[in-house]
Amino acid sequence: MTSLISYLIPLRYAGLIRQFASREIQARYRQSWLGTFWVVLTPLLMLVVYTFVFRHVFQMRWGTTVESNLSFAVRLYAGLAVFNFFAECVSRAPRLVLEQPHLVKKVVFPLEVLPWVNVVAAMVHMVAAVLVLLVLVSVDVGRVPLTALALPLVWLPLIPLTVGLGWWLAAIGTFIRDVGQVVMMLVSLLLFLSPIFFPIEALPAGVRTWAYLNPLALVITETRHVLIDGLWPNWMALAMVLLACGLMAALGAAFFRSARTGFADVV
């Protein structure tokens, strides 16, 4: 139990996680002309494309009222910010151990921190997305609602969700190399199955209940509520999702701990 707690709350390795995350971010944008500006530029370019396709080609609307292109883009970007963070963490997870063979074989290294490093590095993009989102909301609505203060709590379930999936996928991906390809395919499907390009209310009532089994669905919906609609989140629903994600993370930590003894034989 003590070992699992150290997995879930790695305070002892906080400095190590920060160091590795910083190194990963620097390596990602080293020798790039625009550097970290790509953190903001890439999602904005994708937002322009998605807004054009879904707003003007498919003629989609969020509601019955007339809305501007900016209003449509803000609601779209709120969903993309959540999904991009999740996709970045999960897509890299199957290769976390495979990319560090020297840490597996030659050094006594706490491999369980690798999913944490992955998530902390992805948080840089999340912070940039929040700043862009706040600017877009203030330009569109004229102000940022007070309920935006609840955004960190709305996004809190994403941490145990991505770290837990990181343990599961890193362990399985070390033994089964095809896992990375399967994950990429599932992430692409999740982009269109999550309420990113449509409001969750657009689904039939019966389907809507099942849609909430996707943990991103509630987070995306509540993100729009607190940032755009000025509504406080559904605290009970968030608590249930947080509990489920925490349980999944605990099981992932236990699985990773049991599987790590065989990593050196296959890496």
pLDDT exceeds 60 at position 64: no
Residue 1 neighbours by CB under 8 Å, 6+ apart: none
Q: Given this model, what pLDDT does residue 44 score? A: 77
Tell me how far apart the alpha carbons of residues 113 and 119 are, in angstroms, rounded to a whole number.
10
In the DSSP assignment, the letter for residue 113 is G
pLDDT exceeds 80 at position 62: no
Q: Given this model, what pLDDT does residue 34 score? A: 60
Tell me how far apart the alpha carbons of residues 144 and 229 are, in angstroms, rounded to a whole number.
10
Mean pLDDT value of segment 210-225: 92
Q: What is the SS3 string spanning 1-61?
A: CHHHHHHHCCHHHHHHHHHHHHHHHHHHHCCCCCHHHHHHHHHHHHHHHHHHHHHHHCCCC
Tell me how far apart the alpha carbons of residues 120 and 126 are, in angstroms, rounded to a whole number.
10
Q: Given this model, what pLDDT does residue 19 score? A: 92
Across 57-61, 122-126, 253-257, least confident range: 57-61
The secondary element (H helix, E strand) that includes residue 101 is: helix 101-105
Q: Whats the size of the chain, residue-wise? A: 267
pLDDT exceeds 80 at position 189: yes
- HSE on the CB side for 218, CA within 13 Å? 24
pLDDT exceeds 80 at position 9: yes
Q: Given this model, what pLDDT does residue 65 score? A: 62
- Average pLDDT over all residues of the chain: 87
- pLDDT tens profile 71-101: 888 888 899 999 999 999 999 999 999 988 8
Q: Given this model, what pLDDT does residue 246 score? A: 95
Whether the predicted model's global pTM rises above the 0.85 cut: yes
Are residues 84 and 43 in contact, defined by beta-carbon separation less than 8 angstroms?
Answer: yes
**Three-state DSSP class for 100?**
coil
Q: Given this model, what pLDDT does residue 216 score? A: 94
Q: Given this model, what pLDDT does residue 207 score? A: 82
Report the range out of 18-22, 129-133, 245-249 with the highest average pLDDT.
Answer: 245-249
pLDDT exceeds 80 at position 262: yes
pLDDT exceeds 70 at position 245: yes
pLDDT exceeds 60 at position 153: yes
Q: Given this model, what pLDDT does residue 187 score? A: 94
Q: Given this model, what pLDDT does residue 149 score? A: 94
Tell me how far apart the alpha carbons of residues 171 and 167 are, in angstroms, rounded to a whole number.
6
**Three-state DSSP class for 110?**
coil
Mean pLDDT value of segment 98-111: 82
